[in-house]
Amino acid sequence: MNKLDRVCLHTITTKPWAIETAARKFSAAGISGISVWREALADRDPVNVQKILDGEGLEVVSLVRGGFFPDTNAKKRKDAIDQNKRALEEAAALSAPLLVLVCGADPGQSLEDSRNQIHDGIAELIPMATDLGVKLGIEPLHPMYADTRSAVNTMKQANDMAEKTGSVQVGVVVDVDHLWWDPDLEKEIQRCAALDKLFAFHICDWNVPTRDFLFDREIMGKGCIPVSRIRKWVEEAGFNGYNEVEIFSNHYWQQDQVLHSL
Amino acid sequence: MNKLDRVCLHTITTKPWAIETAARKFSAAGISGISVWREALADRDPVNVQKILDGEGLEVVSLVRGGFFPDTNAKKRKDAIDQNKRALEEAAALSAPLLVLVCGADPGQSLEDSRNQIHDGIAELIPMATDLGVKLGIEPLHPMYADTRSAVNTMKQANDMAEKTGSVQVGVVVDVDHLWWDPDLEKEIQRCAALDKLFAFHICDWNVPTRDFLFDREIMGKGCIPVSRIRKWVEEAGFNGYNEVEIFSNHYWQQDQVLHSL
């Protein structure tokens, strides 16, 4: 097997490149998968983008991202649902089999209330997601984002929530950056795979020291996350999808975007 | 009960004040407890500092902090033990009944290895701590510090570790900043208290947004941590010690230090 066979890049990783450039460069580097951030679509017609990606031999792995369901304001929760429905339509137009969910949190209410609103939001999307053939992937986020970005902060919580929906359409996205510290990670990865809900695997590394709450991720092997070990857990549990490289980094974005490090 | 009866301030909270000033101001504000950071001692003789604090009617609640046991280098692990023994001597000289442990982590090894070294380090200190009558409090730190500051990142891990020592001298320090996101927090607080290991309770708030990995804590009530709710859990579990205000904040340190907000 070619070592790049199961490699996917997120457009955010090479954010300075327009998606047309990214598609050409990813393809030239021998990469076969792409996860598209909605920001990269801008005003483009996703059907046209899909044709470009297809022309470069790239498989669309996921659309990133939906979510942000919780809000103390009911009108804003409804707006979030509408926004997620648009994301589902875009995913279908792109032939993306998965919409990644950064679930959200509202610091004006308890984490339990936010989690209840996340559950309700996902439940409301399931019929449309099923019709369109797009799966919904709950991505648990690091507890450092529990204030505003996600009230789902461990693999166990994500598994519990996905299971509670009772839908095969809903599963979990494992991102090493968010979960590497979790003492129950291996066990919950196995549980997730046994539930047939391990939908995606995101990789990067944790910079030591990390200088920014969002945009200081590292390239695999340069930080302190045991990426290979977690990948082994995921693969031994039966996952055979892409290793998705998702690196947000002001440091790397300021440089020329090259793919030599893969 | 006076509302300040069980309030303790950490010297780090009013870092710009020398400890003599802090003692005078805390006392004048009606505060009865002080937790002393080793940095605040500088070259002072802790016996003299204890007299000053006692003269102001302040009870020393803890010395902060020992720990930082893990290192890939055995010589450095031994140095850490020596450093912790000096901290125990200082705690005894100050009449501090507790040494707070920020346990440490070395990004050059696995979290499990770091945790094993933390266990071994604490085990080595127990005889001296017992002789001196100083307790050892494991403070679980937020997972955002799992790279270099602590491989103990949940209340459950701290309880497990304290229990494993088999010593009444070793317990746990609950800090809302580190643990507020943890879905098992209430349950593990109850377990900790049932084990007679709930040694201390630290409060502050989580700033939204937080702008610095270390020095951007908020005053209680101004952030998103349910401090009153967690305090209720702790007190219902039987804890009747101090509410220790521990706020690291570049923002507040740059201002005049006042205690009006208490």
Q: What is the ipTM of this complex?
A: 0.94
- Residues in Cβ contact with A113 at an 8 Å cutoff, skipping those fewer than 6 apart: A70, A106
DSSP character at residue A144: G
pLDDT tens sequence across B126-179: 999 999 999 999 999 999 999 999 999 999 999 999 999 999 999 999 999 999
Which residues from chain A sit within 8 angstroms of residue B209, using beta carbons?
A: 147-148, 213
**What's residue A5's pLDDT?**
75
Taking an 8 Å cut-off on Cβ atoms, the answer to whether A143 and B143 are in contact is yes
pLDDT reading at B1 higher than 80:
no
At residue A3 the predicted structure's pLDDT band, cuts being 50, 70 and 90, is: low
Residue B122 CB-density burial (10 A; 0-12 exposed, 13-18 middle, 19+ buried): buried
For residue B103, which residues of chain A lie inside 8 Å, CB to CB?
none
B59-67 and B98-102: which strand pairing?
Answer: parallel
Measured CB to CB, residues of chain A less than 8 Å from chain B are 107-108, 110-111, 142-144, 146-148, 153-154, 156-157, 180-183, 206, 208-211, 213, 223-224, 226
Q: Which residues of B touch A206 (CB under 8 A)?
A: 147
Distance of CA A166 to the CA centre of its chain: 21
Of B206, B201, B203, which is closest to residue B234 (Cα–Cα)? B201
Note whether A224 and A238 are within 8 A (CB): no
Q: Which of B144, B156, B230 should one mutate to test binding to chain A, selecting the residue with the greatest count of A CBs within 10 A?
A: B144
Nearest to A22 by CA among A7, A37, A11, A35: A11
Q: Is the pLDDT of residue B4 over 90?
A: no
User: Are B65 and B80 a contacting pair, CB within 8 Å?
Assistant: no
- Please write the tens of the pLDDT for every residue from B54-65: 999 999 999 999
User: pTM for the complete prediction?
Assistant: 0.95
In angstroms, the CA A215 to CA A161 distance is 28
CA distance B73 to chain A (A): 17
Written as one letter, the residue type at A68 is: F
Q: Looking at residue A1, what is its pLDDT?
A: 43
Burial A18-45 (b: 16+ CB within 10 A, else e): ebeebbbbbbeeebbbbbbbbebbeeee
Which helix H or strand E contains A198, and what residues bound it? strand A198-203
What crossing angle do the helices spanning B46-55 and B19-28 adopt, rounded to 10°?
20
- The verdict on a CB contact (< 8 Å) between A147 and B180 is no
Give the Cα separation of B258 and A48 in Å (integer). 61
Averaged over A50-55, what is the pLDDT? 98
Distances (CA, A) of A176 to A220, A235, B125: 10, 14, 35
Q: Tokens 């002393």 appear where?
A: B36
> Which of B86, B187, B95, B179 has the alpha carbon at shortest distance from B139?
B179
**Beta-carbon separation of A183 and B209 below 8 A:** no
Listing DSSP states for B157-196 in one string gives HHHHHHHHHT-TTEEEEEEHHHHTT-TTHHHHHHHHHHTT
